[in-house]
Amino acid sequence: MAGKFNSDLHLDITAFGGQDADMCMNCGTCTTICPMSEDSGGGFPRRVIRLIQTGQQAKLEESLDPWMCYYCGDCTTNCPRQANPAETMMASRRYLTSRYDFTGLAKLFYKSALAEILAIVLVGLFVTGLFVAFHGPMVLNKVELNTFAPVHAIELGDWIMAAVLSFFLLAGAARMTWWTLGRRNMLRISPMIFIQQIPVFFVHLFTQKRWHKCGSHHSGIRWIKHLLLVSGYLSMLTLVLILLRWFQTDTVYPFYYPQRLWGYYATIALLYPTLDFMISRWRRKEPIHLFSEASDWIFLIMLFLTALTGIMVNIFRVGGLPMATYLIYVIHLSIAVPMLVVEVPFSKWSHIMYRPLSIYLAGVKQAVGAARTREEQSAEKIAA
Amino acid sequence: MESMKQETVQDSAIPHTPRVGVYICRCGGNISDVVDTDHVAEICRLIPGVAVSKVHTFMCSDPGQQTISDDIRQEKLDRVVVASCSPFLHELTFRGAVMRSKMNPYLYEHVNIREQCSWAHKHDPRGATAKAIQLISAAVGKLSHSTPLEKIRLPNHRRAMVVGGGPAGMKVAADLAACGIPVVLVERSDRLGGKLPILNRLFPNGQAATELAAKLESQVLSNPKIEVLLKSEVTTVSGFIGNFEVAIHGDFGPSGHATDIHTTVGVIVMATGFKPYVPTDGEFNFKRHPAVVTTVDFNALLSKQKGDARTFQFDGRCIRSIAFIHCVGSRQVDGVHTPAVDGRINTYCSRVCCTTVLNQALQVRQRFPDTRVYDLHQDIRTYGRGHEEYYTDASRAGVVFYRYHGQEPPEVTNTNGPTSPLRISVKDYLSWGEELEIEADMVVLAVGMTPGPCETLVDQLKLPRGEDRFLQEIHPKLRPVEISVNGVLLAGTSQAPMNIQETLAAAGAAAVKARAMFTTEEVELNPYVAEVDAHLCEGSGACLTQCEYDGALAMVEILQDGHTVRKAHVNAGLCVGCGACVAVCPTQAINVSGWRIDQYDAMVDGLVRDLTPTTI
Ligand SMILES: Cc1cc2nc3c(=O)[nH]c(=O)nc-3n(C[C@H](O)[C@H](O)[C@H](O)COP(=O)(O)OP(=O)(O)OC[C@H]3O[C@@H](n4cnc5c(N)ncnc54)[C@H](O)[C@@H]3O)c2cc1C
Ligand code: SF4
Ligand code: SF4
Output the CA torsion sign for B292, B295, B298, B300: negative
Residues B293 and B418 in one domain: yes
* pLDDT for residue B470: 97
- The count of structural domains within chain B is 4
Domain end marker among B149, B183, B207:
B149
Please state the atom number of ligand 2 nearest to the C-alpha of residue A84: 1
Whether the per-residue pLDDT at A183 is higher than 90: the answer is no
> Rounded to whole angstroms, how far apart are CA atoms B448 and B295?
9
* pLDDT for residue A306: 94
* pLDDT for residue A40: 59
Residues A95 and A168 in one domain: no
> Rounded to whole angstroms, how far apart are CA atoms B376 and B373?
10
Residue B611 falls inside a structural domain: no
Residues A208 and A113 in one domain: yes
Instruction: Over range A354-362, report the average pLDDT.
Output: 92
Residues A66 and A155 in one domain: no
Residues A13 and A135 in one domain: no
Q: Output Rg (C-alpha) for chain A, integer angstroms.
A: 23
Residues A179 and A309 in one domain: yes
Residues A153 and A35 in one domain: no
Render pLDDT for B137-177 as a digit per residue (tens, 0 to 9).
999 999 999 999 999 888 999 999 999 999 999 999 999 99
Residue B614 falls inside a structural domain: no
Tell whether A37 lies on the interface with B, counting CB pairs under 8 A.
no
* pLDDT for residue B308: 83
3-class secondary structure, B553 = strand
Whether the per-residue pLDDT at A223 is higher than 90: the answer is no
Q: Is the CB of A214 under 6 A from ligand 2?
A: no
Residues B507 and B400 in one domain: no
* pLDDT for residue B7: 39
Highest mean pLDDT among A16-25, A81-90, B15-24, B56-65: B56-65
Render pLDDT for B207-229 as a digit per residue (tens, 0 to 9).
999 999 999 999 999 999 999 99
Residue B103 falls inside a structural domain: yes
Tell the residue nearest (CA) to atom 13 of ligand 1. B499
Whether the per-residue pLDDT at B133 is higher than 80: the answer is yes
* pLDDT for residue B1: 36
Secondary structure element (H or E) that encloses residue B607, with its range:
helix B597-607
Residue B616 falls inside a structural domain: no
Residues B245 and B261 in one domain: yes
Residues A222 and A250 in one domain: yes
Residue A94 falls inside a structural domain: yes
Residues A196 and A322 in one domain: yes
Indicate the residue of A5, A47, A53 with minimum beta-carbon distance to B400: A53
Phi-psi region of B72 (alpha: psi -120 to 50; beta: other; left: phi over 0): alpha
Residues B304 and B443 in one domain: yes
pLDDT band at residue A26 using 50, 70 and 90 as cut-offs: confident
- Which CATH number characterizes residue A20's domain? 1.10.1060.10
Please state the atom number of ligand 3 nearest to the C-alpha of residue B350: 5
* pLDDT for residue A384: 76
Residues B21 and B132 in one domain: yes
* pLDDT for residue B5: 39
* pLDDT for residue B8: 41
Domain end marker among B505, B522, B539:
B522
Instruction: Over range B277-298, report the average pLDDT.
Output: 95
- How many other C-beta atoms lie within 10 A of the C-beta of residue A18? 27
CA of B392 to the centre of ligand 2 (A): 14
Whether the per-residue pLDDT at B13 is higher than 80: the answer is no
* pLDDT for residue B11: 44
Residues A50 and A159 in one domain: no
Q: Do A59 and B398 touch (CB under 8 A)?
A: no
Residue A4 falls inside a structural domain: no
Residues B315 and B362 in one domain: yes
Residue B364 falls inside a structural domain: yes
Render pLDDT for B500-516 as a digit per residue (tens, 0 to 9).
999 999 999 999 999 99
Instruction: Please state the φ and ψ torsions of residue A217, each to the nearest 5 degrees.
Output: -65, -25
* pLDDT for residue B312: 96
Residues B43 and B181 in one domain: no
* pLDDT for residue B2: 38
Domain end marker among B448, B475, B501:
B448
Residues B128 and B184 in one domain: no
Domain end marker among A100, A134, A156:
A100
Please state the atom number of ligand 2 nearest to the C-alpha of residue A46: 5
Instruction: Over range B277-300, report the average pLDDT.
Output: 95
Residues A168 and A186 in one domain: yes
Q: Which residues contact B52 (CB under 8 A, 6 or more apart)?
A: B20, B21, B22, B71, B75, B77
Residues B99 and B76 in one domain: yes
Q: Output Rg (C-alpha) for chain B, integer angstroms.
A: 31
Minimum mean pLDDT among A306-310, B307-311, B396-400: which range? B307-311
Q: Which ligand is nearest to the CA of B507?
A: 1
Whether the per-residue pLDDT at A126 is higher than 60: the answer is yes
Describe the crossing of helices B167-178 and B209-221 by its angle, rounded to 10 degrees.
30
Domain end marker among A100, A119, A137:
A100
Minimum mean pLDDT among A287-291, A297-301, B89-93, B442-446: which range? A287-291
Residue B613 falls inside a structural domain: no
Render pLDDT for B549-575 as a digit per residue (tens, 0 to 9).
878 899 999 888 888 999 999 998 889
CA of B10 to the centre of ligand 2 (A): 79
* pLDDT for residue B10: 43
Residues B33 and B165 in one domain: no
pLDDT band at residue B613 using 50, 70 and 90 as cut-offs: low
Planar angle of CA B523, B243, B87, nearest 5 degrees: 40
Q: Beta strand pairing status for B479-483 and B553-560? A: unpaired
CA distances (Å), origin B360, targets A11, A268, B368: 23, 61, 12
Residues A200 and A344 in one domain: yes
* pLDDT for residue A211: 74
Q: B531: domain range?
A: 526-593
Ligand 3 shell residues, CB under 6 Å? B 326-327, 330-331, 349-351, 353-354, 378-379, 381, 446, 448
> Rounded to whole angstroms, how far apart are CA atoms B355 and B558?
63
Tell whether A54 lies on the interface with B, counting CB pairs under 8 A.
yes
Residue B496 falls inside a structural domain: yes
Q: A71: domain range?
A: 9-100
- Which CATH number characterizes residue B55's domain? 3.40.50
> Rounded to whole angstroms, how far apart are CA atoms A311 and A274?
15
**Residues in A 351-380 with any Cβ partner in B closer than 8 A:** none
Whether the per-residue pLDDT at B338 is higher than 50: the answer is yes
Residues A73 and A177 in one domain: no
Render pLDDT for A236-284 as a digit per residue (tens, 0 to 9).
888 888 888 888 888 888 888 888 899 999 999 999 999 998 998 888 8
* pLDDT for residue A39: 61
Shortest distance, CA B293 to any CA of chain A (angstroms): 21
Report pTM: 0.79
Residue B351 falls inside a structural domain: yes
* pLDDT for residue A217: 59
Share of chain A above pLDDT 90, in %: 39
Tell the residue nearest (CA) to atom 2 of ligand 2. A79
Residues B402 and B456 in one domain: no
Whether the per-residue pLDDT at B442 is higher than 80: the answer is yes
Render pLDDT for B94-130 as a digit per residue (tens, 0 to 9).
999 999 999 999 999 999 999 999 999 999 999 999 9
CA neighbor of B193 nearest in space, from B175, B177, B223, B173: B173
Interface test with B, best of A5, A26, A49, A54 (most B CBs within 10 A): A54
Whether the per-residue pLDDT at A18 is higher than 90: the answer is no
Please state the atom number of ligand 3 nearest to the C-alpha of residue B348: 5
- How many other C-beta atoms lie within 10 A of the C-beta of residue A375? 10
Q: Identity (one letter) of the amino acid at B321?
A: S
CA neighbor of A343 nearest in space, from A374, A298, A284, A384: A298
Whether the per-residue pLDDT at B452 is higher than 70: the answer is yes
* pLDDT for residue B3: 38
Residues B169 and B309 in one domain: no
- The count of structural domains within chain A is 2
* pLDDT for residue A215: 61
Sort out which chain B residues have CB atoms less than 8 A from A59's CB and list them.
Answer: 434
CA of A22 to the centre of ligand 2 (A): 10
Q: Do B401 and A51 touch (CB under 8 A)?
A: no
Helices (H), chain A: 9-15, 29-33, 46-53, 57-61, 65-68, 74-78, 85-100, 105-111, 113-134, 145-148, 151-181, 183-186, 191-196, 198-207, 219-237, 244-247, 258-283, 294-318, 322-346, 351-383
Ligand 1 shell residues, CB under 6 Å? B 163-169, 186-189, 194-195, 199, 202-203, 233, 271-274, 276, 295-296, 299, 352, 356, 359, 452-454, 492-493, 498-501, 503
* pLDDT for residue B497: 97
- How big is chain B, counted in residues? 616
User: In this predicted model, which residue has the larger pLDDT, B394 or A3?
Assistant: B394
- Which CATH number characterizes residue B370's domain? 3.50.50.60
Whether the per-residue pLDDT at B81 is higher than 90: the answer is yes
